[in-house]
A and B are shown apart, each in its own frame.
Chain A
Amino acid sequence: MTATLAPITPRQLAAEAAPVSMAAALNRALADALEADDRVVVFGEDVGVLGGVFRITDGLATRFGESRVFDTPLAESGIIGTAIGMAMNGLRPVVEMQFDAFAYPAFEQITSHLAKLRNRTRGRVELPVVVRIPYGGGIGGVEHHSDSSEAYFTHTAGLRVVTPGTPADAYTLLRQAIDAPDPVIFLEPKRRYWSKQTGVLSADDPPADAAVVRRVGRDVTLICYGGMVATALEAATEGTAEGWDIEVIDLRSLSPFDDATVTASVRRTGRAIVVHEASRFCGYGAEVAARISEQCFHYLEAPVLRVTGYDIPYPPPLLEQHHLPSTERILGAVRRLQWDDNA
């Protein structure tokens, strides 16, 4: 049978025989990056022997040794701060913050140094550091385990912020993040860790910084990312029963922002809804809505709407279903988009 196998380029792996979960795709991306480049090191709390609390680094310490995949003391500022020093000395650290809210002790190192050292030194100090952060809710986590912290990071110049919506894209985005010359905040939608997909894992495609149209539609553009991609696609499918033809854009890269893809879509559909789990006020959706109104005003048939979490601290597990955007809420927003000319 070997004669029938097509050659595999180093950057593109064969389709997995079995469906791959997002967690497995991330693990594979880390393993392939460690294999491809000796400068890559992976560290954080419990990422070594345990393989991380979500098992994203499972088996890596055994395979690559403790000098390349290792546990750190329990101190997030220390993890980011030492990653900066290692990157200054030629390594390419990929670090894990155990949960979204546990990254906050590292906020100063991320915003004041990781994001700014290149600029501070006129480009002389390059920090190719990837900060992996499992983020968002939907897993029944107690307080401080479900935050959507993207806006803190996208507001900071010098950081790239990406988040995958599908298992295959988790592989692609993580390989691209590790290869990037800039620091990358890599937000992993933990509620999708166990979602599965069959397909080719590519390190190159789709290209970095590009949003992707996950579903083509005529009537309205849903703009989403991370954990909300699957929800938006589900809403689009449900919407066909009501006659809606809904387009879904997966942003992938939250910073930089792919204006071209979003603008082209909204100019075509004339209507747009931004969907995210994070709170609404000063949330990421506000930026998206503002950009659309700046660039698509004369094409819009209705105001840009937002379907988001409420402006509350993330609720306890037994209440989170009321907070998280649902397909009904998304379709409710679609219905409100001033379809009646007389409205």
Chain B
Amino acid sequence: MTTMAPRPGRGLLPPVELLALLDDAGEPVRGQAGGLPMPGPDVLTALYGSMVIGRRLDTQATALTRQGRLAVYPSSRGQEACQVGAVLAMREQDWLFPTYRDSVAIMTRGVDPIETLTLLRGDWHCGYDPYRHRVAPQCTPLATSSLHAVGLGHAARVKGEDTVAVAFLGDGATSEGDTHEALNFAAVWNAPVVFFVQNNGYAISVPLAKQTAAPSLAHKGIGYGIASMRIDGNDPAAVYAAVRAAISAAASGAGPTLIEALTYRIEAHTNADDAARYRSAQEVQSWLARDPIARLERYLRQAGTLDDGQAADISAAAEQAAARLRDRMSAEAQTDPAEMFRHVYAQPTVALATQQAQLEAELGAPHPELR
């Protein structure tokens, strides 16, 4: 039975004010939580530790790019509250669908940094097993994986699994058609999906004002019947609480949620970009003052949850992680030309086997693995 009448309102509109739990100075925010609970001390400490390590690995990856060890690296510096808060809010059985800027999120999920950076190092496209940590492959087309997230979440429901798919998107990607198809499919199917939009202000060089005329990116969920919220994306407590709530809702059958997290990309798009051409140093400075790690550190210290010793331990752990990454990256990447032919189909075709043999003849000798 079809009805032409609009559905009754489900309170989809995001509140006018950003949801936040901690302000720029690390003080608890009053009256802006929108019902989000402040995470407990253990969670906040874990968020802090993972953000410190994540940022250190991110700056290390940028340095490795300057040294020519990575072909390119899209930094997420400044976005650690999103990268870490959203991932730590996920349960083991949930799936992460990251974008190419979400390497810190992937490493936070437990993927080996070397395997995470394989795409950017260039020895293969995806270096990790997506099933091991339930992290979909990174790749450079935007928004396409949001549909994969919806399909995976829908399949989980059909199979009776308690799995929620968390689709990461950027502000630019919300202009792509696939984002809209994904929102619509997820809503119609009531799929267990969380759309997590990191609005970092720029799609390479194009600012949000040239990306959308909508009052906010969160408003894009409403037309599809998806409950949407806007949060301070530099507030790790708010990100964690919002994603946690959205995952709980999806898991309980309440359907998808869109979360717009306001944050800022401190670095240029990649090492190959010159951000000075499209934004001012003053703007960057204003966002540095809203740093997600500094604000959580202040809160934890004031609450007595973090002392100098603990902070030093975390800092040392981050240095160790960076040193390990540096050492492992200093070895030359191993590649096998035969692998180009191996995974195209389940079984190589006759034509592929022939071309592989031609390449090997050209290279002089079969690869050791093929002897």
Contacts and interface: CB of A to CB of B under 8 A. Distances in A.
Interface of A: 41, 67, 72-73, 75, 77-78, 80-91, 93, 105, 108-109, 112-113, 116-126, 157-158, 160, 180-182, 209, 256-257, 259
Given A75-B185, A123-B343, A181-B346, A88 B147 contact: no
Contacts of B328: none
A83 B151 contact: yes
Contacts of A112: 139, 141, 144
B178 A81 contact: yes
Contacts of A209: 349
A60 B368 CA distance: 51
A332 B77 CA distance: 68
B147 to A, nearest CB: 3
Interface in B141-185: 141, 144, 146-156, 158-159, 161, 163, 165, 177-178, 181-182, 184-185
B70 to A, nearest CB: 18
Nearest to B146: A81
B346 A126 contact: yes
B136 interface: yes
| Residue from A89, A118, A124 whose CB has the most chain B CB atoms within 10 Å | A89
Contact of B182 (A78, A125, A180, A257): A78
Given A73-B185, A77-B181, A119 B343 contact: yes
A109 B152 contact: no
B16 interface: no
B148 A160 contact: no
B181 A81 contact: yes
Given A118-B345, A120-B139, A121-B126, A84 B148 contact: yes
Nearest to A180: B346
A82 B129 contact: no
A109 B344 contact: no
A112 B148 CA distance: 13
Contact of B344 (A91, A105, A119, A180): A119
A178 to B, nearest CB: 14
A84 B141 CA distance: 15
B346 A85 contact: no
A82 B178 contact: no
Contacts, number: 139
Interface centre among A86, A105, A109, by most chain B C-beta atoms within 10 angstroms, is A86
B331 interface: no
14 contacts: A73-B188, A77-B177, A81-B148, A82-B154, A85-B151, A85-B154, A89-B161, A91-B158, A109-B147, A112-B144, A119-B344, A121-B129, A121-B130, A124-B129
A88 B185 contact: no
Contacts of B130: 88, 121, 124-125
B150 A256 contact: no
Contact of B181 (A73, A123, A160): A73
B185 A84 contact: no
Contacts of B146: 81
A82 B144 contact: no
Nearest to B141: A112
Nearest to A91: B155
Contacts of A82: 147-148, 150-151, 154, 185
Contacts of B148: 81-82, 84-85, 88, 113
Contacts of A117: 137
| Interface SS majority for chain B | helix
A230 to B, nearest CB: 28
A34 to B, nearest CB: 14
Nearest to B165: A85
A89 B152 contact: yes
Interface string B347-366: 00111000000000000000
B351 A257 contact: yes
Contact of B184 (A73, A124, A180, A182): A73
Contacts of B129: 121, 124
Interface in B73-124: 124
Nearest to B351: A256
A71 to B, nearest CB: 10
Nearest to B132: A124
A75 B155 CA distance: 18
A89 B124 contact: no
A130 to B, nearest CB: 14
Contact of B124 (A109, A122, A182): A122
Contacts of B131: 124-125
Interface centre among A73, A81, A86, A117 (most CB of B within 10 A): A81
A127 to B, nearest CB: 10
Given A90-B159, A122-B126, A158-B344, A85 B152 contact: yes
B158 A67 contact: yes
A83 B158 CA distance: 13
Contacts of A41: 158
A77 to B, nearest CB: 6
Contact of A78 (B136, B181, B351): B181
A139 to B, nearest CB: 29
Contacts of B163: 89
Q: Which 5 A-B pairs have the closest CB atoms?
A: A85-B151, A81-B147, A82-B151, A78-B181, A85-B152
A302 to B, nearest CB: 26
A262 to B, nearest CB: 12
Given A118-B345, A119-B344, A124-B131, 20 more contacts: A75-B184, A78-B185, A81-B144, A81-B151, A82-B148, A82-B154, A85-B147, A88-B148, A88-B155, A89-B152, A91-B159, A113-B144, A116-B125, A118-B343, A121-B129, A121-B137, A122-B126, A125-B137, A181-B346, A182-B345
Contacts of B158: 41, 67, 91
A80 B178 CA distance: 11
Contacts of B141: 108, 112-113
B369 interface: no
A41 B137 CA distance: 24
B339 interface: yes
B178 A77 contact: yes
B367 to A, nearest CB: 15
Contacts of A105: 177
A267 to B, nearest CB: 17
Nearest to A85: B151
B225 to A, nearest CB: 12
A90 B136 CA distance: 14
Contacts of A256: 345, 349-351
Contact of A89 (B139, B155, B185, B349): B155
